[in-house]
Amino acid sequence: MHIPNRILVTGGAGFLGSHLCDRLLTDGAEVLCVDNFFTGSQSNIQHHFNNPSFEFMRHDVTFPLYVEIDQIYNLACPASPVHYQRRPAQTTKTCVLGPINMLGLAKRTSARIFQASTSEVYGDPDVHPQTESYWGKVNPVGPRACYDEGKRCAETLFFDYHREYDTDIKVARIFNCYGPRMHINDGRVVSNFIVQALRDQEITIFGDGSQTRSFCYVDDMIEAFTRLMGTEKDVTGPINLGNPHELSILELANTVKELIGSNVGLKILPLPENDPARRCPDIALAKTTLDWEPKIPLEEGLGKTIGYFDKTLARTTP
């Protein structure tokens, strides 16, 4: 596959962004990584600092960026409720002003641009599993709206730029993704369970644990990103990217405990407001369009993620 000469990755020091930078550099691209370190970390990208094909710029995408590039992956945005609810107004600005600025850059440079959208655009869905044709059920004034509605608005902007200016867009709706370099305090269920079990703490379950999610390992997700960016111009998305294997939060907790060899108990807390009861992607479109589906089993991916957090905790524990 032909790799464009210079690729911009916003949010490139974050969990997904840093893995994407790894992949693009391995494929022979020049990478400009942009991040403001709100949730990203220098430790995720420092292994590239001596690579002449890698450049880092500290920048907030809510402000315009004037660079010359061939492709843009727009991943800049806090993606966990703990982070985006801490600064909801800034999250909305990142979701909306970021795409406006990146789409403006794409328009000026004639670059192909990828938007990291989210399964949260479906809200607490009435349709299961979720297909791309489902419009969603989102509370526009709830505590999750800064992210949910922000990402919905971003999709609107992408398709308006495509229709009005013929901008070359790719929109991916990302379902739960996990793996090494997740933020240790991001509040996501996989990292929460692993860190709590490794610390010999009770595992926190919200509600009765019957709510479902599906989990895709990061390497599979990055493969899908690059395949989507390599499609013909008429393939715009939105396209669901995730693992169609659905399991309950309680099942996940027990799997993590078993892999770690932990006997910690469970701590039951009330379910957060507007938390979806079920979340699982229909990936038929990804299968036919990208010839893609997840390959890495949950136990294998969790094992790699547990190893990462075990080393991280060992470094940070006095």
**Domain extents in the chain:** 6-183+216-244+277-296
Tokens of 56: 């880092």
Angle at 53 between CA 47 and CA 57, to 5 degrees: 70
pLDDT digits (tens, 9 = 90+) for 99-131: 999 999 999 999 999 999 999 999 988 999 999
Q: Does residue 269 sit in helix, strand or coil?
A: strand
Q: Categorize the per-residue pLDDT at 56 as very low, low, confident or very high, splitting at 50, 70 and 90.
A: very high
How many whole angstroms from its chain centre is CA 259?
Answer: 24
Give the pLDDT of residue 247: 92
Q: Does residue 113 sit in helix, strand or coil?
A: strand
Q: Categorize the per-residue pLDDT at 183 as very low, low, confident or very high, splitting at 50, 70 and 90.
A: confident
Q: Which residues pair with 170 in a beta bridge?
A: 114
Please list, in sequence order, all residues whose beta carbon lies within 8 angstroms of the beta carbon of residue 261, skipping any fewer than 6 positions away.
Answer: none
Model-level pTM? Answer: 0.93
6-183+216-244+277-296: CATH, from 3.20.10.10, 3.40.50.170, 3.30.1330.10, 3.40.50.720 = 3.40.50.720
Give the pLDDT of residue 82: 66
Q: How far apart are CA 198 and CA 257, in angstroms?
A: 9
Catalytic site positions: 147
How many whole angstroms from its chain centre is CA 23?
Answer: 15
pLDDT digits (tens, 9 = 90+) for 189-241: 899 999 999 999 999 998 888 888 899 999 999 999 999 999 999 999 999 99
Q: Does residue 174 sit in helix, strand or coil?
A: strand
